[in-house]
Chains A and B, each alone.
Chain A
């Protein structure tokens, strides 16, 4: 298993390099000008000079190479410096956001907590709700519980989050005034009342995303349980005189979790990607919102870096899903 993991990690290096090239070329080919938002009164020669100052005057392969060096060498060195107080990255050019003129990775580090709190929490809550619903729905297939569960899942899955989000805002913020409609990032939690405020502003975005995630995962869980409930080994377990609890929650669940764990693991990168739309609706200034504003402002280094970080996470969690698969299913051994 260790050999397999190491081999997969090594293979992912060329994969990621290729992905970074693809992203770079896509952004290069896309229409759009980082100077588009500069007022028209600025003469074209000045704009050209500004472009060259951003490094846009150089050929594509040189710029790509510079990005590679900055992202894979300078940025890690900087991280190392900030942890251990060394000064190895002193004077080296970091990846700079064109919009804000500050290093991309510092902005990412600022935005990460909001995304992890809101989107990450909703993913955890969604999963925790989804698993029992899926198990019970499958065990009591076509019961009232299953029917309601199916209906709610269908709604949660098919109604887009920007709709449920706005609906919740209209009901709970505008009409009832229970929760704030805007997520306030500047809120510092240092006592009980600010903690309650933090909870209040998290309720709606977390609910919207949890509903969406739970809808998806509970369907997977249900389907996987149903696949296994009719297997011969379940009859064997019952024939041994085991209780229903042991039969379902040990024998069946252990088998049903194999595909579901994979689905859950593969969904984690989307957490970091931030639920882009939901973050917009509730004004959570997380990674998703960062990406949207960067795209709108033609902030190429920011878009390039964020997209690449998501790509890394996707590759990484694919690997994690495969390793988990091998750990859970003894029939699959990679070595």
Chain B
């Protein structure tokens, strides 16, 4: 992945708000990032941090209403996806941007055969005939490691195990050779050995097909294993962004540091209790004009309550949205 290459996806200042009875929820707040060709961008954060909503927003899969896009732009192949019409978006979804969702048990339609569901994007986007689509569908199933692929096309989703269904989902997402694959916690619902298999499969497919991948997860171990760069999200914002090694070696944001400490180690003495980050994740109904992490942060000072910190560059390709500088253990001058 050469640095400075033209990004395939460039998200700038994305804002998504959910209108609810109890007020507006600022689910995604000024999120900016880019995705370079062929790279694997990891997105971590706890539940409710806005990881999924960010990715759903940029492809128009959040239900509107109640969701509402409040500005920003998503540049993909010279086009702003936030301003593209529904028909243009449909032409992109499933063809140029593929999706894999969290729960393979419920993500496939139970009343259609796997073959039918695999053929749908092929027939719609590639204009393949029924026979050609079926042939390609069998190749895809074979590609994701499902044995006896041609015969299994006529099986229904309930006849597959969880891991196999996630393979089917991946095959479906890759059906039209997308430039971008968005995987929303694809291994969370699977047990650990199956999770490892799926990770290997994705690594392997990425080598073969060369698409860029956004991998959403809350599992830092998974991120360490496969990502090139990492975005850490908290309270609907990106709080830290760094290449993967840099992030684990030199975390800058107090949230990231706390998150890394919660990972239990099997080396040394067993800790009497698992480490946690004290406090609750923020309720996002308040206007985002202060640091979302301030209530759980050990370095909070008056500026944290007054301003929402911008992302300060802290090193090459590394930035963190925090007024406190861990290098000097003092507030930043900026």
Contacts and interface: CB of A to CB of B under 8 A. Distances in A.
Nearest to A254: B111
Nearest to B91: A241
Interface stretch (A62-70, A119-127, A290-298, A325-333): A325-333
A241 B109 contact: no
B99 A239 contact: yes
A238 interface: yes
A240 B97 CA distance: 9
A255 B106 contact: no
Interface stretch (B20-28, B117-125, B260-268): B117-125
B99 A236 contact: yes
Size bracket of the B interface? 20 to 34
B51 interface: no
Interface in A239-281: 239-243, 251, 254-255, 258
A151 interface: no
Nearest to A237: B109
Interface in A218-237: 231-233, 235-237
A134 B111 CA distance: 20
A243 B113 CA distance: 19
Nearest to B156: A330
A329 B95 CA distance: 29
Interface string A148-167: 00000000000000000000
Contact of A232 (B90, B106, B125, B172): B106
A239 B156 contact: no
Contact of A329 (B90, B110, B124): B110
A117 to B, nearest CB: 35
Given A255-B110, A255-B111, A239 B92 contact: no
A238 B110 contact: no
A241 B111 contact: no
Nearest to A239: B99
B95 to A, nearest CB: 6
B61 interface: yes
A194 B110 CA distance: 51
Nearest to B106: A232
Interface residues of A, number: 20
Contact of B112 (A238, A241, A254): A254
B109 A238 contact: no
A232 B120 contact: no
Contacts of A235: 61, 101, 107
Given A233-B107, A233-B109, A254-B112, A238 B61 contact: yes
Contact of B61 (A239, A251, A255): A239
B218 interface: no
Interface in B27-67: 59, 61
B271 to A, nearest CB: 36
Residue of B107, B156, B158 ringed by the most chain A CB atoms within 10 A = B107
A258 B111 CA distance: 10
Contact of A236 (B59, B91, B108): B108
Given A235-B61, A242-B90, A331-B156, 7 more contacts: A231-B106, A232-B103, A236-B99, A239-B173, A240-B121, A251-B112, A255-B109
27 contacts: A232-B103, A233-B107, A236-B99, A236-B101, A236-B107, A236-B109, A236-B172, A237-B120, A239-B61, A239-B94, A239-B101, A240-B93, A241-B93, A241-B95, A242-B90, A242-B94, A242-B120, A243-B90, A251-B109, A254-B112, A255-B109, A328-B111, A329-B111, A330-B110, A330-B111, A331-B110, A331-B156
